[in-house]
Amino acid sequence: MRHLYQIQAQLVTFPVPPDSKSVNPNKIAVKLIGVCGARANTHHAALFFGHFLTNPNIVAYNALLKAYAQNNEWQCTIYHFNKQLVTRDAPSPDEYTFTSVLKACAGLSLAVEGEKLHCFVTKYGCEANLFVCNSLMDLYFKVGQFGVAHKLFDKMLVRDVVSWNTLLSGYCLGGNLDKARWIFDGMVEKSTVSWSTMINGYAKVGELYEARQLFDKMPERNVVSWNAMIAGYAQNERYADAIELFRQMQQQSSMVPNDATLVSVLSACAQLGALDLGKWIHDRFIRRSKMKLRLFLGNSLADMYAKCGCIVDARQVFNSMQEKDVISWTILITGLAMHGHANEAFGCFREMLEHGIRPNDITFMGLLTACTHAGLVDKGLEYFHMMDQVYGISPKIEHYGVYKDTERGIRVAQHILELDPDHSGSYVYLTNIYASKGRLDDAAKCRLRMRDNGVMKIPGCSWIEVDNTVHEFFMGDLSHPQSEKIYLMIRELRWKMKLAGYKPKTDLVVHNVEEEEKEDALSSHSEKLALAFGLISTSEGTTIRIVKNLRVCDDCHDAIKIISLLVRREIIVRDRSRFHHFRDGTCSCNDFW
C-alpha cells in the first residue's frame, strides 16, 4: 500500500491528460481500485473511483463493486450498484456486475432484493452466463429457496465444477446431507472445495466420524481441507482432536496455517488451558511472521490468554488490536470477571461505552459474573435492570442466579424438573444440596430418579498441559500411563494433608459406603489426579495450571489450598465458574465462588 500511495501522489501531482494517447487514465484507475480491493482497503478504492474517474465505464464500476464484494462489504456493494442504476449516462450492468451484486445479496440473505436482481439479469440478457447462474444458485440456496436453486442448475446448458460445488454446498447448508452425499458421490470431477464442503456439512451436524473418513480419503489436501476438519473438531468440543490434527498438519505437510486455522486451534487451546501451545502459535505464526492481527484472530488470541489465566497478556493483545468489536471488549470484561477483578471489569465496560460499542447479552453475563465473585448484589441488580431498560436485552436463564439460598434453590430446581424431566443439572444440584444438609435418603432418591429417567450426569473432567501435551483425567481415572505414580503421589499428599489438619468433607459423597471409601472417592476427583500428575511431571516451583469442566467442589478447594502450602507452588485452577489462584494456603476467590 505504501507503493500505491506513492503512485497516487504522482498522479495527483502530475495528472494524466484526459486526451492522452499513450496512457489511459481509466485503465490506471481500474488497476488501482483492483489493488486496493485485494489489500482490503475499500475506502481507498472508493476514493480512486470518485477522484480519478470523471466518466467511469462499466469496467470501472465492476472493479469497485468487486472490491466491496470480495471484502464482504455487502451493503456498500448494493448501494453503489443502485447508484449506478439511477445515475444518468451510467453504463448498463453486465455479467461481472451481477456476479458481485448477487454475492452481496446472498451474503445478506436478501430474498426479495435477490429476486429483483434476477429480473435485471433476465432484462440485460445475462441469465445464460455460467458465472451469473452459479451466483444465482448460491443466492437462492442461502435464502432457503432450494427448489428454485435446483431448477436453475437443471436448466444450465453448461456446468463447471463451481456449479456442482454450489449445488453441493447448498444442500449441506440446508442440512440435507443425504442429498448432498448423493450429489458428491455422483460428481465426475471433485475438487478440494468439493471434499471440504462435504466435510463441513458432516461436521456441522456433529457427524465427525463421516467427516474424518472423507478427510482421510482425500487425494490431495489444501489449507481449506485441514481447516474444515480442525474446525469440525473444535466446534463439536473435540478440542484435543483439533490440536492433534493441527500437529499433524505441521508435521505431514508444508501447509502454512491461515487465520481460520489459528482461530480454531486457539479456541481449542482456550478450552483445554493449553497455554504453552497457544504461546507457541502466537510467537511462531503471528509475531515472527508479522501476521496482521485481524479482528477474529485477535479475539481468539486474547480469549486464549484470558481463559488460560494470563489476563495481563490478554490485555496486551487487546491493546495491540487495531480493530475491536463487542466480542473483543466482552472477552476482556469476562476474563477480568473470572479472575475476580470486578472493578477493572466495570472500568472496562465504561471504556467500551465511551468508544460507542453497544453491549450484548454476553457482555452483561460477564458483568454479573464480576458482581457474583465480589458479592456486589446491588451493583449486580443495577446491571441486570440496565440490560432491559437501557439496551432492550431480555435476560436469559444464565442471567439469573441464586447463591446459597438453598430452600429457594430446591424449589427452583424442582420446578425446572417439572418442565424438563431430563435436566441433568437440576438433579445434580438437588443431590448435592440434600447431601450437604445430611438428607442422604433424599439424595439417594434423587439419584435413583435420575437413573430411572435415563438422565446422564456430565462427568467431571480436568485437563493439564505438560511439555506441550494436554493430559485428560476423569474421576477415578486409571487409564493414564503413569497412573501408579499418580496414585502414589495422591496417597503421599493425603498423609501430609492430614498432618496439616485437613479433614475430608465426606458429606459430599452421597453413596451409602464406609467413611474410608468416601475419602478414597474424594481423593480421586479429576482435579486432584491432574494436580498429582503435574507435581510428578514438573520441576519444583513451576506453576501448575488445571482446567475443569465443572465447578470445583468444596473438598477439592480446601485440599488444593493446603497442597499449595505444602508444595510451595502456585496452583491455578479454572473451573466452570471462575479462576482460583492457590498460593501459600489461600485462594484468590477468598472462598467465595
Position 470, amino acid: V
Which pLDDT belongs to residue 400? 67
- Owning domain of residue 254: 222-308
Residue where the block lists cell 445479496: 105
**Same domain for 500 and 432:** no
Q: Taking a C-beta distance cutoff of 8 angstroms, is the pair 526, 475 a contact? A: yes
**What's the total number of domains in the chain?**
3
Which residues fall within 8 angstroms of residue 402, CB to CB, at 6 or more apart? 408, 409, 412
Which pLDDT belongs to residue 110? 93
Q: Is residue 287 part of a domain?
A: yes
Domain stop point among 417, 452, 487: 452
**Same domain for 484 and 432:** no
Secondary structure of the chain: what % helix, strand, coil (to 5)? Answer: 65, 5, 30
pTM exceeds 0.95, yes or no: no
Q: Is residue 136 part of a domain?
A: no
Q: Is residue 580 part of a domain?
A: yes
**Same domain for 581 and 473:** yes
Residue 225 CA to residue 517 CA, distance in Å, equals 50
> Could you give phi then psi for residue 577, rounded to 5 degrees?
-95, -45
Q: Taking a C-beta distance cutoff of 8 angstroms, is the pair 363, 326 a contact? A: yes
Which pLDDT belongs to residue 218? 93
pLDDT block averages, 10 residues each, the chain of length 593: 82 74 76 88 87 84 94 93 86 94 94 94 93 95 93 92 92 90 90 93 93 94 94 94 94 85 96 94 86 88 95 95 94 94 96 95 93 87 92 79 72 82 81 77 84 82 92 93 95 92 76 72 92 96 93 91 95 91 92 76
Q: Is residue 241 part of a domain?
A: yes
Q: Taking a C-beta distance cutoff of 8 angstroms, is the pair 227, 252 a contact? A: no
Q: Is residue 423 part of a domain?
A: yes
Q: Taking a C-beta distance cutoff of 8 angstroms, is the pair 587, 580 a contact? A: yes
Residue where the block lists cell 447479552: 361
**Same domain for 476 and 435:** no
